Structure 1
Amino acid sequence: MTRFGYTLMTEQSGPKQLVEYAVSAERLGFDFEVSSDHYSPWLAAQGHAPNAWTLLGAVAQATERVELFTYVTCPTVRYHPAVVAQQAATLQILADGRFTLGVGSGENLNEHVVGQGWPTIKRRQDMLREAVQIIRELFTGELVDWKGDYFEVDSARLWDVPEVPVAIAAAVSGERSVETFSPLVDHLIAVEPDKELVDGWHAARKGTGLPGDSRIVGQIPICWDTDEAAAVARAHEQFRWFAGGWSVNADLPTTAGFAGATQFVREEDVASSIPCGPDLDAIVEAVRKYWEAGFTDIALVQVGDEGQDRFLDQAAAPLLDKLRKAAG
C-alpha cells in the first residue's frame, strides 16, 4: 500500500506554525511527515529557515503516530557526521522509534555558510558515503575512532542509543549514486518519478543479498487553492526555483542567485510542472506518476505558508481519500 506524507517546508513557515501543521496533518490521516533541513530559503519571498532538528524534536512530542523523516540532512559540511548521529539517535528516542534519517549530498545554498567551500559532486558523494559509515558505527553505541579521507572521529560514543535502530535513507539521482549507496543505507529518496532509477536500486540491493523491503520515498509540490490564478501566482512567487533542476539548484549559493537564475521563469512554466488550483483529480494524476514508478512513500508539498491552514482544513482529507483509492 502506498503511503502518503506531508512536508514540513521549513523554507516557507516559522517553527510554531510548522508544529501546528504537523499536528493537523497527523489528525487528518497522513502516514508520515518529512522536514527539509535548510539554513536559507530558496527565495527571499519564502522568508523562513528554522532549524530542522529542533523542529522535529518538538513535532515528535506533539504527535503520536506519524513517521518522521529529515528530507534531507547533509551530514558532511554544515554538520559533522558525529553530530548528526547524536541528533538522529536522540530524535529516535523522542519519537518512540518513528524517525528515519534522510541524508543527501547537500546544496551550496545551505552548506557554504560555515565557510568550508563547496566540493564537486563526486567529492560530495564520497564525503556522504564516509559520513554514512561513521554514523552507522556510532549507532552501535560503541566507542568510535575514525580517520578517513574526509573526516576524523576521536573517541566518540553515543550514550543514548535508541531501542529501535535508526533507518537511513539516501537521496540518489543516478547510476553511480545507486551503486554507492544501495549497500550502505536502508531506503531510497528521489525527487523525480524515475522507474529506471527505482528498478536499478532494487536490482543493486538484490545483487548484494540485501533485503527487498527497501522503501522508495518521493516528494511532489502542489499548490491547492480555491482560486486557480492565485495558486499559480503563489507557486510562481515561491517555487519557481524548482524549474532549475537539481544539477543547477545544488550549486547556487544565495537567495539572490536563485532570484537571478529564475527571473525569466513565467507563471505558465510553473503551472505546467506543479498542479495548481482546486482540482483534486489533477493533483492525483500528477502524483500517480510516482506510485506507477514504484514509489512506496510520497510526500506532498503544499506551496506557501499563506493558505496552508485552508489546505489542511478543506482539501487534505478528501485529497488523501482520492489518492488512496487511486493507488489501490
Structure 2
Amino acid sequence: MTTFGYFLSCEEFTPAQLLDQAGRAADAGFTRLAISDHFHPWNDAQGNSPLVWSVIGALSRTVDLPITTLVTCPTVRMHPVLTAQAAATSSVLLNGCFTLGVGTGEALNEHVLGDPWPPFAERAEMLEEAVEVMRELFTGRLVSHRGPHYTVENARLYTTPPEAPPVYVSGFGPNAAALAGRIGDGLVTMTPDSGLIEAFRSAGGAGKPVIGGVKVCWSDDRDKAVDLVHRLWPTELLPGELAQILPTPAHFEQASELVTVDMVRSTVTCGNDSEQHIAALRAYVETGFDEVYVGQIGPDHKEFFGHYRDTVLPALTG
C-alpha cells in the first residue's frame, strides 16, 4: 500500500517555516517527511538554502516521523566520509527512522568549491564508490579506502545507529535507474514512469521500494496559483539535462524564460479542486510507488493541510 509523506523544500522556506510545516504535516495525516538538500535555491525568488543536517536535527526534536533526504549528493561538495557521519547521526537522532536518498547531483550545488563538474558517467562512478565507502563506515569499523575517486584513511564513525540507514538512489533516466537497482536499497524518481521502474527492477531492484514526489499549489484562486508556480518553480519544467549542468540561480532564471504560464497551467496541479489533487497522486499509486511525497508551493499551508487531511488523503488511503 502506498504511503504519503510531506516534502519540505529547503529552497523555498526558512528553517522555522520548515519546522512548522512538519508539525502541520503530522497533524494532517502525512506519515513521513522528505527534505531537499541544496546549497543554492534554483532561483533567487525561492530565496532559501538552510543546511539540511541542521534542519534534520531540529526536526528530530519536533516531530515523530521518518525522514528521507531527497536527495543528497555525497560526491563533490560533501565527501562521502562526512556524508556518512551526517547520515549516521541523523539516524541516531531519529531512532533509526532515517533514509539517505542520494544522487549524482547538480552543478548548481556542487560547483561551489571550484571542482570540475564531471559528465554523468563519471558522476555515476563516483556515486557508486561513495555508497560503498558510506556503507563500510556505517558498520562502525575502522575504514581505510583507496579508490579511483576517494581516499579514506583510518576513519571510524563512533556514533552509529544499530542498523545502517537505507540508501535510496535517485534515477531520472534508464541508466541512473539501473544504477539504483544495482547499488541502492530503493529508487527515488519524481515522475510516475513505469519504464524507469522496470529498468530499476530488472537491474536488481526487484522487491525494493520506489519513492517519488510531486509539487502542487493549493489555492482558492487557480490563476494566482499558476502565476506563483511560474514565478517560484518554473525550473520543474525545464527539459533535458539543464537541471544537472547549469551552475547558478541566474542561469536557471535565464533558462526558465523557456517556460510559459500555459505550460505550468497544463502540467502542475494548481487550485482547490480536490479531484485534481487526488488524480495527480493516484498516478503514482497506479504506477507502483511505495512512498509519495507532496510539497505545497507558496504560502497557503493552512488551507493545503486542511484539505489534504479532510479530502485528499482519505480518498487515497481510506
How far has the Cα of 1:184 moved from its partner? 1.8
C-alpha distance in 2 between matches for 1:181 and 1:243 = 24
Q: CA deviation at 1:176?
A: 2.5
For residues 267-294 of structure 1, the C-alpha deviation after alignment (integer angstroms, 9 at most, x for no partner) is: 1111111010000110111222212111
The 8 Å contact of residues 177 and 200 in structure 2, kept in 1 or not, is answered as: yes
Provide the rounded CA distance (Å) in 2 between the counterparts of 1:12 and 1:49.
8
Provide, for residues 105-147 of structure 1, a one-character-per-residue CA deviation record: whole Å limited to 9, x for no partner. 0011111111112111111111101100000110111110011
Say whether the 8 Å CA contact 2:217–2:229 is kept in structure 1. yes
CA offsets, 1:237-262, max 9 Å, x none? 11111111351111111111111101
8 Å contact from structure 2 (residues 35, 69) kept in 1: yes
Within 5 A, what are the aligned runs for 1:122-133?
122-133=121-132
Matched, 1:292 2:291: no
Map 1:91-110 onto structure 2 (within 5 A): 91-110=90-109
* Normalised TM-score (structure 2): 0.96
- Aligned partner of 2:272 in structure 1 is 278
| Structure-1 separation of matches of 2:228 and 2:88 | 37
Residue pairs, 1:1-328, within 5 angstroms = 1-64=1-64, 66-205=65-204, 212-245=206-239, 247-304=241-298, 306-325=299-318
Q: Secondary structure at the match of 1:235?
A: helix
Aligned-residue CA RMSD in angstroms? 1.4
Gaps of 5+ in 1: 207-211
Give the drift of 1:178.
3.2
CA distance in 2 between partners of 1:286 and 1:57 (Å): 31
SS for the counterpart of 2:5 is: strand
**Distance in 2 (alpha carbons) for counterparts of 1:13 and 1:290:** 26
Normalised by the length of structure 1, the TM-score is: 0.93
- 1:41-93 CA distance string (max 9 Å, x none): 111111111111110111111112x2100000000011000001000110001
Native 8 Å contact 2:238 2:259 kept in 1: no
1:308 shift after superposition = 2.3
Hey, what's the Cα distance between the residues in 2 that align with 1:130 and 1:270?
38
How much does 1:229 deviate?
1.2
Is the CA contact (8 Å cut-off) linking 2:179 and 2:203 kept in structure 1? no
CA contact (8 A) 2:218 2:271 kept: yes
Aligned letter for 2:315? K
Change (3 A) 1:267 1:178: closer
> What is the rounded CA distance, in whole Å, between the counterparts of 1:113 and 1:78 in structure 2?
7
Residue 144 of structure 2 aligns to a residue in which SS? strand
Cα distance in 1 for partners of 2:157, 2:113 equals: 25
Answer yes or no: is the 8 Å Cα contact 2:192–2:284 preserved in 1: yes
Deviating more after overlay: 106-115 vs 306-315: 306-315
Q: Give the 3 Å change call, closer, same or farther, for CA 79–275 of structure 1 in structure 2.
A: same
- Structure 2: distance between partners of 1:268 and 1:18: 30
More off after superposition, 83-92 vs 196-205: 196-205
Long gaps (5+) in structure 2:
none
Separation in 2 of the partners of 1:314 and 1:292? 22
| 1:209 counterpart residue number | none
Q: Encode CA deviations 1:219-245: one digit per residue, 9 max, x unaligned.
A: 111111011111111111111111113
2:103 touches 2:170 (CA, 8 Å); kept in 1? yes
Larger CA deviation: 79-88 vs 156-165: 156-165
Q: For residues 172-206 of structure 1, give each alpha carbon's deviation from its aligned partner in whole angstroms, at most 9, with x where no partner exists.
A: 13332233332322111001111122123223226
CA distance in 2 between counterparts of 1:231 and 1:138 reads: 45
Q: 1-side partners of 2:240 and 2:79: how far apart?
A: 23
Q: CA deviation at 1:170?
A: 0.3
Tell me, what secondary structure is at the counterpart of 1:33? strand
Residue identity opposite 2:217 in structure 1: C
Letter in 2 for 1:77: V
**Which deviates further from its counterpart, 229-238 or 71-80?**
229-238
Say if 1:139 and 1:158, in contact at 8 Å, map to a contact too.
yes
CA contact (8 A) 1:15 1:55 kept: yes
Question: Counterparts of 2:309 and 2:261 in 1: how far apart (Å)?
Answer: 24
